[in-house]
Structure 1
Amino acid sequence: MSLQTRIKAAGAAAAAAPVDAGRRRAVKRRTKRAVMDRMGYDEVARISAYIDPALARSELRPAVEAALNVEEPTDLATPERETIIDEILDDVVGLGPLQPLIEDDTVTEIMINGCRSAFFERGGVLYPIEHAFEDDEQIRVLIDRIISPLGRRIDERSPIVNARLKTGYRVNAVIPPVAIDGPILTIRKFSDRICSLDELVGLGSLPLWYAQLLSCAVSLRQDLAVAGGTGSGKTTLLNALSCEISTGERIVTIEDSAELKFAHHPHVVRLEAREASIEGEGAVTIRDLVTNALRMRPDRIVVGEVRGAECCDMLQAMNTGHDGSLTTLHAGSEQETVVRLTLLARYGIDLPSELIEEQIAMALDGIVMSERHADGRRFVSSYSGVRRAASGGVELERYVTFDAAERTWTLDREPPFIAEGLRSGTLTQEEVDEWRSLCPSS
């Protein structure tokens, strides 16, 4: 049953045959127990492990219907029965009360803060989830169901875990004693719909001329860092920029959780970091992957996010012939980006900050900022060039300024790579003249 049909059925049930919430939970418990008793836990687990959830649901549905007919033979209206059956299948096969939110493409994040508080994000705005879980044990069972197939564990000795669903959604779980108010579960969903700069233009995240400028920067092999806060749209922008890379180039992507999508690029090597197994072995870090990527003959290296010692290897890669590489990191401004890169690089190499800044100035060509506003909308904001200052260190030069109050963009200065593109023949004079006619100058 589709999400829309399920919602309609729930509404019809409320109108046709109101059922007390307590009684409904009791019916679900009895029916689920009856299914387990008749089929056996091993058989239910075998069916639930199907790669195709729809196939698992279709195979289990007759058993659930039969058990419900025994428990409540005549007393429930058809819409209410269908809702209870779907909820039981969600519990057994899917992610329980979170399954409808997982299936809803408009939901971007799900946040469970113990059994007393839960929220989901849609369009950048948070909405409460009413009565999602009855107790903390139900959340623990759900967390175990997510991480067990991945060979991961969570317990008092290892109370924090990061994992990924088969859909690619990122999962973070924290349990007591670290989580004071009960198990915490956060699921970050990633949309498959936004994969180009044109789509971001259509959403109003940036104007057309700005998108064309960023496309030129990628085509002309500028090394770019996308910076911003959590949930500001950095990964979405990175994905859109990556899709501007020529199909004749070999791309190596490196991520904590594989989120980038390259539906139409023919030559992409995707690498994903791995945490240690239950035995504490087999960890593969982002730094390990960046180091290995240099041996894979990449034309471009795309690092989903730098947050540690791998920053040093990323800068070295940019400085040793891998121009046009891309990455993201958390920072609130261009200046904070430089400071954060300096601090992260020092995790990997013991050098004075001045020398690391020299490395940053030589490696990085530009910083693009991404931000989210209070109403949930996300914007590609400012764009600054990075160069070596005359006195040493990093000097930033603003190319594009974003007015957050008016939500307007201004071209402060034409980036020098435009002139370089003209000289090399990568850009034609007609293309540049057309682009200049669209730009609002300061």
Structure 2
Amino acid sequence: MSLRERLALAEDPRAGIGVQLEHSSAFAYQDLKKTMHQLILDRIDLERLKRLTPEQFKHELALLVQRIIEDERIVLNQSERHHLVLDIQHEMLGFGPLEPLLADPGVSDILVNTHDKVYVERTGRLELTGVTFHDNAHLMKIIEKIVSRVGRRVDESSPMVDARLPDGSRVNAIIPPLAVDGPILSIRRFSSNPLTVERLLEFKSLTPPMVQVLEALGHAKLNILISGGTGSGKTTLLNVLSGAIPGTERIVTIEDAAELQLRQPHVVRLETRPPNLEGKGEVTQRALVRNALRMRPDRIILGEVRGAEAIDMLQAMNTGHEGSLATIHANSPRDALARLENMVGMAGVNLTSRAVRQQICAAVTVVMQVSRLTDGARKLVSLQEVTGMEGDVIAMHEIFRFEQTGVDANGRVLGAFSATGVRPRFADRLRLYGAPVPDSVFDPNRFFE
């Protein structure tokens, strides 16, 4: 069947009505685009195109698509031609059907559940899009293109992979045989312009008194642990906190997939490496933390602590690398410290529970809990200070909290931020480091909705 016949099938009113016609047209268009792509590959001079700039490549590609449309005598209006040219450019130069979603600043997550179901998250809520891939093989090609750009692979012997896009967005892919119905792709978007303190205040994710304390904590070089669930905003808050670090300090970041967007001039970014086909060559976060200690860092930022590297991170915080930051998955500040203790046990060190807790108390000063509420809003719901040991238990004082009072008719969460009235012990250190905060910041009678 020629390209013209395929297009005619999509336009033929006898092809069906309602949803059937919609599905038939969508399939015919995907088939048309796939065949057009193959014709271009047959006609194109790849060696010549390698010498062109991206803009010149796009221009040459557009001319070639127009020529094929005319040769095949396909009836398309100007708008349809424009969309077809764009789709072919996305296919050859980018990530195919994902490109329009990646260009949409309102999309925070892209979730591909096999080739024919693509969901996105906007303002904290999931919605199904009309974006589809031609088939699962097409989706696999896009996944392979993404992971190969960062030197990683995905196949039957290694069916799970973490990667990142050029803009720093986090990517996870899992394919058959582990994914029963077909390849699954998850993309956690990160804005090219990271959220600022002003934007977080605008979104009511925190309050002005909290901002005063956060900026002072960064200036006074206190070790901070950020706790929260998946998609709660841990990395966003980590980026904001890092903004308080002076530009004169040397920062080493360690991540599974590099996504932090620090603005300081002296930043060294390290990234883990998975094992190769022979199961060798793996570089873990723990190895990178150990190596970072030999790189003369002023501060170490660990994207997420999730294993044996916890003991090395605590030792780094206790041996002169003050002001270090890390995130951890947990449902509360207390759970975060319990998880940290369990992770130290994974390192195989021969320490008693009390000794591990003493290490934690000496290393971590502040634990911040961020949460994603039922309406999709992300908030800093608790800021607690680690004050020491009371017997065999780690003592903590809550300094700020968000208390939910209900939900309105539109499903929006109601509640207010407030201080607890406790003056933290670290207030004296803030003053010594030239970053004092007034006592009014800790006034429990001030509420922020």
What TM-score do you get using the length of structure 2 for normalisation? 0.86
Give the structure 1 partner of residue 170 of structure 2: 170
Change in Cα spacing, 1:55 to 1:122, as seen in structure 2 (3 Å) is farther
- Measure the CA separation in 2 of the matches of 1:112 and 1:425: 48
Residue type at the aligned position of 2:315: Q
Deviation string, structure 1 residues 335-372 (Cα, Å, up to 9, x no partner): 11011101111111243333211211111101001111
Alignment of 1:169-188 (within 5 A): 169-188=169-188
Q: 1:34 aligns with which of 30, 34, 39?
A: 39
Residue type at the aligned position of 2:253: T
Specify the SS of the correspondent of 1:324.
Answer: coil
Alignment of 1:200-211 (within 5 A): 200-211=200-211
Change in Cα spacing, 1:379 to 1:391, as seen in structure 2 (3 Å) is same
Change in Cα spacing, 1:220 to 1:439, as seen in structure 2 (3 Å) is farther
- Measure the CA separation in 2 of the matches of 1:22 and 1:268: 48
Q: 1:419 aligns with which of 406, 419, 428?
A: 428
Contact 1:307 / 1:329 at 8 angstroms: preserved in 2?
yes
Give the structure 1 partner of residue 262 of structure 2: 262
The range that moved more, 185-194 or 26-35, is 26-35
The range that moved more, 163-172 or 190-199, is 190-199
Contact 1:228 / 1:234 at 8 angstroms: preserved in 2?
yes
Alignment of 1:302-317 (within 5 A): 302-317=301-316
Residue type at the aligned position of 1:82: H
Alignment of 1:31-430 (within 5 A): 31-39=36-44, 42-43=46-47, 47=50, 54=55, 56-73=57-74, 75-263=75-263, 265-348=264-347, 349-405=349-405, 406-412=414-420, 413-422=422-431, 424=432, 426-427=434-435
- Measure the CA separation in 2 of the matches of 1:87 and 1:167: 21
The range that moved more, 187-196 or 200-209, is 187-196
Q: Shift in Å at residue 281 of structure 1?
A: 3.7
- Measure the CA separation in 1 of the matches of 2:57 and 2:350: 54
| RMSD, aligned CA | 2.5
- Measure the CA separation in 2 of the matches of 1:23 and 1:239: 45
- Measure the CA separation in 1 of the matches of 2:267 and 2:107: 28
Contact 2:300 / 2:321 at 8 angstroms: preserved in 1?
yes
Residue type at the aligned position of 2:274: E
Specify the SS of the correspondent of 2:173.
Answer: strand
Specify the SS of the correspondent of 2:438.
Answer: helix
1:432 partnered with 2:438: yes
Change in Cα spacing, 1:62 to 1:337, as seen in structure 2 (3 Å) is same
Contact 1:230 / 1:330 at 8 angstroms: preserved in 2?
yes
What TM-score do you get using the length of structure 1 for normalisation? 0.87
- Measure the CA separation in 2 of the matches of 1:436 and 1:343: 33
Contact 1:171 / 1:187 at 8 angstroms: preserved in 2?
yes
Give the structure 1 partner of residue 16 of structure 2: none
Unpaired runs of 5+ residues, structure 1, are 1-17
- Measure the CA separation in 1 of the matches of 2:234 and 2:168: 17
Change in Cα spacing, 1:60 to 1:291, as seen in structure 2 (3 Å) is same
Unpaired runs of 5+ residues, structure 2, are 1-21, 406-413
Change in Cα spacing, 1:244 to 1:27, as seen in structure 2 (3 Å) is same
Deviation string, structure 1 residues 143-188 (Cα, Å, up to 9, x no partner): 1122234333222211111112222222111111100111111111
- Measure the CA separation in 1 of the matches of 2:64 and 2:272: 40
Change in Cα spacing, 1:54 to 1:394, as seen in structure 2 (3 Å) is farther
Residue type at the aligned position of 1:285: T
Change in Cα spacing, 1:259 to 1:29, as seen in structure 2 (3 Å) is closer
Q: Shift in Å at residue 84 of structure 1?
A: 1.1
Contact 1:113 / 1:183 at 8 angstroms: preserved in 2?
yes
Deviation string, structure 1 residues 277-325 (Cα, Å, up to 9, x no partner): 3454432211111111111111111111101111110011111111111
Specify the SS of the correspondent of 1:177.
Answer: coil
